[in-house]
Amino acid sequence: MGHTQYSLSTQDRNELDKLFEILEHRSNFQLGYPVSTHFDYSSLFRFLHYSVNNAGDPFVSNNSFCLHTRAFELEVLKWYARLFRSPWEESWGYITNGGTEGNLYGLYLARELYPDGILYHSQDVHYSVPKSLRLLRMQHTTIRSQPNGEMSYQHLYETIKIRRDVCPIILANIGTTMKEAVDRVARIREILAELSVFSFYIHADAALSGMTLPFIDGSPLFDFSTGIDSISVSGHKFIGSPIPCGIVLAKQKNVDKIARPIEYIGSLDTTISGSRNGITPLFLWYAIRKYGREGFRAMVTRCLNRAEYAIVELNKVGCKAWRNPCAITLVIPRPPKSIIWKWQIAVNAEDAHIVIKPDVTTELIDEFVDDMQKVPRK
């Protein structure tokens, strides 16, 4: 008997073609969200023929399932450990589905270490953090933000002082979502020292800025040498990836306290998800090998120069644009719906922003400025 041949209908193929056309067109007008399309992973497409699964702890050998990319995952993690000055022999991490999972993991570790601790985060924290806190059932307190989006250190001091008998867990924004403001880890550590607080946990949410600040001279430090305990960075934002991804790094000694052996997979259960994407480690590995530190530094410098160019041009046409030091995010007044729709602008109340990613050219900026010039002024 012959095998039945199955295929899509003409209508189904047309629907896919239509979706592709929409994505191809709309990707040319995307200024509001930090998702770079500055990549070409076509040489890796052959790996999509296989079910690649990085289940379990990437640091533990697994002889029962061989279709994985854990060796490449470890190389990516080692590169990030050097970038964030975490001694490799004391480091642990894995490649996540994105910044939200990395933040959830950091908070999970903190809660396991300090079950009665209180999390402190600014009001400019990413929208996923309150959800993670509900999932983890963690006590938390919101700290006021300064106008630039950075946390109020005075309010942090006063709030911790009231409950300094309870271990503080602090989520430091290393580039807030709307304004790319940086909570200064050094100042946070000073406050803890002033209050004689010696048991604490600091998680750094560096979703976007984790891939820009290390390549900017004089930028604020936020790595493990400053006293953080874990960090989350997105891979699909500055580097760019067709599949959302990221990395989380933590201290091995803290992860050891939550590890559980799982005979079924021949590994340790240390990650949040069971089955993990084995393709995204190849994307990040490829980009890191292709560009290296010098390539990323050049890319960041171009973005900063274009961000400054955009500010000058927008202000020329009456659009008050500004940015925090070292930021590639420009804050602008909320534009009309037509601009928001065309350019896929991220908005929050009266503020909006655009992100000068590696794929944003001066020509694209000029086109956006031209559209903004036509906006009626109040």
Edge-to-edge order in the sheet of strand 351-355? 329-333, 351-355, 346-348
Q: Within the chain, which residue ranges are assigned CATH 3.90.1150.10?
A: 10-40+294-373
The fold of the 45-288 domain, in CATH, is Aspartate Aminotransferase; domain 2 (3.40.640)
Superfamily of domain 10-40+294-373: Aspartate Aminotransferase, domain 1 (3.90.1150.10)
Side chain identity at residue 223, one-letter code: D
Yes or no: say if 149 and 124 are a contact pair by the CB < 8 Å rule. yes
pLDDT at residue 377, as a whole number? 66
Whole-angstrom distance, CA of residue 237 vs CA of residue 283: 13
Spatial CA neighbour of 330 closest among 339, 320, 341, 340 = 320
DSSP state of 23: H
Average pLDDT per run of 10 along the chain, which is 378 residues long?
82 97 95 94 97 90 81 98 97 96 96 96 96 95 98 98 95 98 98 97 98 97 97 97 97 86 57 91 98 98 98 97 98 96 95 97 98 82
Whole-angstrom distance, CA of residue 87 vs CA of residue 83: 10
Give residues with Cβ within 8 angstroms of 144, minimum separation 6.
122, 123, 151, 152, 155
**Backbone torsion region of residue 180, taken as left when φ is above 0, otherwise alpha when ψ lies between -120 and 50, otherwise beta:** left
pLDDT at residue 264, as a whole number? 43
**Angle made by CA atoms 152, 324, 186, in degrees to the nearest 5:** 50
pLDDT at residue 263, as a whole number? 43
Phi and psi at 330, nearest 5°, equal: -105, 130
Q: Within the chain, which residue ranges are assigned CATH 3.40.640.10?
A: 45-288
pLDDT at residue 258, as a whole number? 80
**Angle made by CA atoms 374, 361, 206, in degrees to the nearest 5:** 105
Give residues with Cβ within 8 angstroms of 129, minimum separation 6.
103, 107, 121, 171, 205
Yes or no: say if 282 and 241 are a contact pair by the CB < 8 Å rule. no
Edge-to-edge order in the sheet of strand 118-122? 91-96, 246-251, 230-234, 201-205, 168-173, 118-122, 139-143
Whole-angstrom distance, CA of residue 346 vs CA of residue 32: 5
Q: Which regions of 14-167 does DSSP assign to beta strands (E)?
A: 91-96, 118-122, 139-143
**Dihedral over Cα of 101, 107, 112, 115: its sign:** negative
